[in-house]
Structure 1
Amino acid sequence: MTTPLGAPCWIDLATSDLEVARRFYGTVFGWTFDDAGPEYGGYVTAHVDGKPVAGLMAHPIDRWNTYLHTADVDATLARVIAAGGTGCGGAMDIPAKGRMAMVSDPSGGVVGLWQPTGHPGTEITGVAGTPVWHQLTTLDLAKVLDFYVQVFGWQTEVAGDTDEFRYSTAVFDGEPLIGVMDGTAFMSAGEPSNWFFFLGADDVDKTQRLIVDNGGAVVRAAEDTPYGRLASVTDPTGAGFNLSSLT
């Protein structure tokens, strides 16, 4: 496992239409798929260049999940609760793969914990169709940062501290891997924090068109930012994610 402890190590999609999801992500991002079989509930692993990047599973609620790397799910779950978060059903073993749990931070942001044994998580990043950035958006930036520092030992740096752009990053071995954004300018009162990610695209505008042509939708059209060309989109069943240019 090369992902630092406390950093995102896996994403998976809960989808109400697994076949539609496979066609969509295969067409748009060139993902190939490997079905783990009935003993794993039909869980599907997506690959780029033969390396795992994401999972897909049948579920009535359509959403993407992010998982943080931990060496001990049970100990991390105890820290989550001690720091004011909650567990979502307790820890469970995935035979020959790892141990996992879903938790909620004090502001309602749901994130997974992954303790790998046989499944190391995402093995390729930084190229088209792979996760290139992860972000947590929240109404309570200070409280959320304090929680993740307590539970995961994040080292944080301030990237912006104005009313227009209040943003911190979590840095691992000198490399920022997560952004935490103050969403008070655009989130509704009481809205829970949310984790999301950016998939790399060689051409964000072309990928955005492919998404629409294959049944997805654009939430925020592609635009140039100081961090690259970005867009916010959904797949055909409404699960949201983001696009980012690679340069």
Structure 2
Amino acid sequence: MSDVENTMAFIEISSDDPATIERFYSRIFGWRFDRTPGTNYGFIRMPGEAKPIGRLLDNAGATPNWGTFGIGVSDAEEICRRVKAAGGEILDSDQVFEDDSYVMRGARFRDPSGNLFAVGTVEPKE
């Protein structure tokens, strides 16, 4: 995730076939996918990097497949208030995803045109 506030920072991909998605993006960008045992997600990492750039969710066919972008912020709760005031829809406001090394916290929204986007932080585990 970018360390610059309010900039493009991470991606989220949801698929009913995560193995195919992992092969696809690995071949194109060299991304590494580290599944988190006991969950339906895994972090996405760039080659040679420990810090995640996003996550891949296994939706098991329960929802349509989708992909979105995330904005790096320091206060997701404040962004929730701003999104609501500006006419957006809050989909998830208390997301927490983690592996052995990092914790990703954030929220997901739809803008007034229905476009999906997210905000969040990625921090090393203490």
Q: TM-score range by the shorter chain?
A: 0.7 to 0.9
2:30, 2:47 within 8 Å by CA — same for their partners in 1? no
1:43 is aligned, of 41, 44, 48, to 41
Q: Which has the higher contact order (CA 8 A, sep 6+)?
A: 2
* Deviation (angstroms), 1:116: 2.9
2:12, 2:67 within 8 Å by CA — same for their partners in 1? yes
Structure 1, residues 124-180: CA drift from partner, whole Å, max 9, x if none?
A: xxxxxxxxxxxxxxxxxxxxxxxxxxxxxxxxxxxxxxxxxxxxxxxxxxxxxxxxx
Identity of aligned residues (%): 24
Answering whether residue 89 of structure 2 is matched by residue 105 of structure 1, we say: no
Cα distance between partner residues in 2 of 1:70 and 1:107: 22
Answering whether residue 8 of structure 2 is matched by residue 5 of structure 1, we say: no
Q: Which structure would you say has the larger Rg? A: 1
In the alignment, structure 2 segments of 5+ residues that lack a partner are: none
Cα distance between partner residues in 2 of 1:106 and 1:72: 21
TM-score (normalised: structure 1): 0.42
* Deviation (angstroms), 1:2: 4.6
Secondary structure of 1:84's counterpart equals coil
**For residues 93 and 23 of structure 1, do their structure 2 counterparts lie closer, same or farther at Cα, with a shift above 3 Å needed?**
closer
Show the counterpart of 1:24. Answer: 24
Cα distance between partner residues in 1 of 2:37 and 2:3: 26
RMSD: 2.2
In the alignment, structure 1 segments of 5+ residues that lack a partner are: 120-247
**For residues 28 and 94 of structure 1, do their structure 2 counterparts lie closer, same or farther at Cα, with a shift above 3 Å needed?**
closer
Cα distance between partner residues in 1 of 2:8 and 2:85: 21
* Deviation (angstroms), 1:13: 1.0
Counterpart amino acid of 1:93? V
